[in-house]
Amino acid sequence: KHYSSGMYVRLAFAVAAHLNPEILVVDEVLAVGDLAFQKKCLGKMGEVSRGGRTVLFVSHNMAAVENLCSRGVVLHCGELECDGTAKDAIQYYLNSLSTRSGTGHIVELDDVGERTSRLAPLLKRMEFLTDDDEPLNEGLPIGSRLKIKVCFDLPKPTSNFNIGIGFNNTYGQRIFTAASIFEPRRWETECVGPQILTCDIPGFPLTPGEYAVKVWLDVNSSEADAIEDAVKIRVLESDFYGTGKVPWNGTFVLKHKWRLEQTATAMQADKVGVLK
């Protein structure tokens, strides 16, 4: 019989998992197989760990590492670079991949790497502003206004174009996407040459942390230019709800209200005295 490399990995994991080892070494097993197999792998590794045995889990799946591991190490060219909690190791690894962080409100896109251009480098510059068009130089408090100006070129006259801006968390997961195609009052006039589109987000809803910003340009319903990791912005802790409590759990915040209503049983209990 002939097996694919993925099938060999699945077979090897199945054998290793049923040997009840004291130390289970798992190297990139989540890179193969369907979701059901990956879920089974994570379940088995958790079972081994809870049984007091050691799991050495090698992976680039940051969410799985954080959920499964209590300790993390980062290796580079065979050398140990970081040894600490899983969260600390993940942050160290992600920081080592960062190309640039938002230390100025203007980002020149001509010098940014990881670019995919079908026509030409049409995306030129991004500018980040807050209330009253103040430059965003450091970080953005939760719920603050954010304006993003995107400067780009259109090589030929067209009205069919779109600017998209995506925000990814530290695990590379897309949290929020803003795109000009969602604008109800779309422009009908054909445009050519240098253009500026401004995305105005009245209350940026993401929780504290660092987010990688992807920007892309579609022309005639096809992606013409895209930059995967154009810049990183940092959302700062702030009193979003006005209670002195800082939101920390989840990925975004929403204004909401609570209302307490007493049931008939609770109201009746208030009227009942206690005799001693």
Residue pLDDT, tens place only, 128-145: 999 888 998 878 998 999
Question: Do residue 118 and residue 228 come from a single domain?
Answer: yes
pLDDT band at 149 (very low <50, low <70, confident <90, very high): very high
For residue 50, the domain's CATH number is 3.40.50.300
- Which DSSP symbol is given to 188? -
Question: Do residue 188 and residue 93 come from a single domain?
Answer: no
Question: Do residue 81 and residue 161 come from a single domain?
Answer: no
**Length of the chain counted residue by residue:** 276
Question: Do residue 70 and residue 122 come from a single domain?
Answer: no
Question: Do residue 110 and residue 227 come from a single domain?
Answer: yes
Question: Do residue 222 and residue 114 come from a single domain?
Answer: yes
Q: For residue 2, what are the CA distances in angstroms to 5, 31, 37, 158? A: 10, 20, 20, 53
Residue 125: closest CA among 225, 205, 236: 225
Q: Concatenated DSSP letters for 119-157?
A: SS--EEEEEEE-GGG-B--S-EETT--EEEEEEEEEEEE
Residue 148 pLDDT > 90 = yes
- Residue corresponding to tokens 């049931």: 263
What's the N-to-C CA distance of the chain in angstroms?
A: 82
Question: Do residue 198 and residue 126 come from a single domain?
Answer: yes
For residue 122, the domain's CATH number is 2.70.50.60
Question: Do residue 170 and residue 226 come from a single domain?
Answer: yes
Tally the domains of the chain: 2
For residue 60, what are the contacts with CB-CB under 8 A and spacing of at least 6? 28, 31
Nearest 5 degrees, angle CA 247-CA 253-CA 257? 90
> Is 185 within a domain?
yes
Range of the domain at 60: 5-97
For residues 209 and 235, what is the distance between their CA atoms, to the nearest angstrom?
Answer: 5
Which of 35-39, 137-141, 184-188, 219-223 shows the lowest per-residue confidence on average (mean pLDDT)?
35-39
